[in-house]
């Protein structure tokens, strides 16, 4: 029998401390459920591939670094296109742009494996190009961005979504879109945090009794210069503090601080 030497103080509410064999048995039992979850996701993906499509006008123009180009150009010769639709707050300084969309865009700085699979990637936003361009330079983004200001869905409209398109010659079709927590799959950090003992430390999560109960959703997406989470006027989306020459925020440039 394995004995455990307990420290003088223990973390409140922590799970039981057991020997390796007992832990492995519990881990194996959970693995059965994890595999079922994976297979259920595979089945959903199979249904997703069979959704009906909506045709749209591929000649509609979007605005990028080279001016106006037809939406069809975003396929870059591929048959498939994945876009992330990034929210925009007109007139806001860099630190006032959408922190939720920053989570997705920051995790998608490199889409080389999408391209290798024959899927083009681009980020669309309703922001005017003269505001978007300096923001991209500040953030260090190299993925293609385009302004879709004034355009209707599915190319324009509400932002904060992923959308997938299929090209058949010069014909373009919308095949899928998702928003809300559906965009989490872009950010591997969420899945990795879900593996850790405390998870995301958000109040909505189900945790053992006595475990840290967490904060409001998204609480750590914006911090001040000292790394303290804050949605006040001294906060920035977390990755902005890594940018060269960044200075502390003084104002978000908009009246609301809600996510």
In the predicted model, is pLDDT for residue 206 greater than 50? Answer: yes
Rounded average pLDDT over 5-34: 86
**Predicted local confidence at residue 9, as pLDDT:** 59
**Predicted local confidence at residue 77, as pLDDT:** 95
- Examine residue 148 and state whether it is found in any structural domain, yes or no: yes
**Predicted local confidence at residue 251, as pLDDT:** 82
| pLDDT tens-digit series, residues 109-162 | 999 999 999 999 999 999 999 999 999 999 999 999 999 999 999 999 999 999
In the predicted model, is pLDDT for residue 212 greater than 90? Answer: no
Residues 6+ apart with CB under 8 A from 125: 85, 86, 87, 88, 132, 145, 146, 147, 148, 159
Report how far residue 242's alpha carbon sits from residue 35's, in angstroms, rounded to the nearest whole number: 37
In the predicted model, is pLDDT for residue 44 greater than 50? Answer: yes
- Examine residue 100 and state whether it is found in any structural domain, yes or no: yes
**Predicted local confidence at residue 211, as pLDDT:** 85
- Examine residue 206 and state whether it is found in any structural domain, yes or no: no
- Examine residue 59 and state whether it is found in any structural domain, yes or no: yes
> How much of the chain, in percent, has pLDDT values that exceed 70?
94
pLDDT band at 5 (very low <50, low <70, confident <90, very high): low
What is the residue-averaged pLDDT of the chain? 92
Beta bridge partners of 119: 80
**Predicted local confidence at residue 63, as pLDDT:** 98
Instruction: Give me the number of domains the chain comprises.
Output: 1
pLDDT band at 28 (very low <50, low <70, confident <90, very high): very high
- Examine residue 76 and state whether it is found in any structural domain, yes or no: yes
Rounded average pLDDT over 31-49: 97
**CA 17, 34, 162, 121 torsion-angle sign:** positive
- Examine residue 64 and state whether it is found in any structural domain, yes or no: yes
Which residue has tokens 């045709």? 55
Which domain range does residue 146 map to?
53-185
- Examine residue 73 and state whether it is found in any structural domain, yes or no: yes
**CA 156, 158, 159, 164 torsion-angle sign:** negative
| The pair of three-digit structure tokens given for residue 36, joined into one six-digit string | 């079922």
- Examine residue 57 and state whether it is found in any structural domain, yes or no: yes
pLDDT band at 6 (very low <50, low <70, confident <90, very high): low
Domain of residue 127, CATH code: 3.40.30.10
State how far the alpha carbon of 38 is from the alpha carbons of 128, 188, 190, in Å: 41, 16, 16
């Amino acid at each position: 029998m394995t004995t455990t030497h307990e420290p003088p103080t223990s973390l409140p509410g922590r799970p039981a401390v057991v020997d390796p064999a007992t832990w492995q048995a519990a881990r194996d039992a959970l693995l059965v459920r994890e595999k079922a979850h994976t297979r259920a996701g595979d089945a959903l993906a199979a249904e997703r591939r069979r959704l009906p499509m909506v045709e749209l006008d591929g000649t509609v123009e979007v605005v990028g670094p080279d001016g106006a180009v037809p939406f069809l150009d975003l396929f870059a010769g591929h048959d498939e296109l994945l876009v992330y639709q990034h929210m925009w707050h007109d007139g806001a300084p860099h630190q006032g742009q959408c922190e939720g969309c920053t989570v997705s865009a920051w995790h998608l700085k490199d889409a080389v494996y999408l391209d290798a699979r024959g899927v083009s990637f681009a980020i669309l936003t309703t922001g005017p190009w003269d505001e978007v361009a300096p923001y991209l330079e500040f953030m260090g983004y190299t993925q293609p961005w385009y302004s879709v200001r004034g355009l209707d869905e599915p190319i324009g409209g509400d932002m904060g979504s992923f959308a997938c398109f299929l090209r058949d010659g010069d014909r373009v079709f919308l095949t899928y879109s998702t928003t809300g927590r559906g965009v989490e799959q872009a950010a591997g950090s969420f899945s990795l945090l879900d593996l850790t003992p405390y998870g995301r430390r958000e109040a909505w999560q189900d945790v053992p009794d006595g475990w840290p109960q967490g904060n409001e959703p998204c609480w750590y997406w914006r911090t001040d210069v000292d790394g303290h989470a804050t949605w006040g006027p001294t906060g920035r989306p977390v990755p902005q503090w890594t940018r060269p020459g960044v200075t502390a925020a003084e104002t978000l440039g908009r009246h609301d601080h809600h996510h």
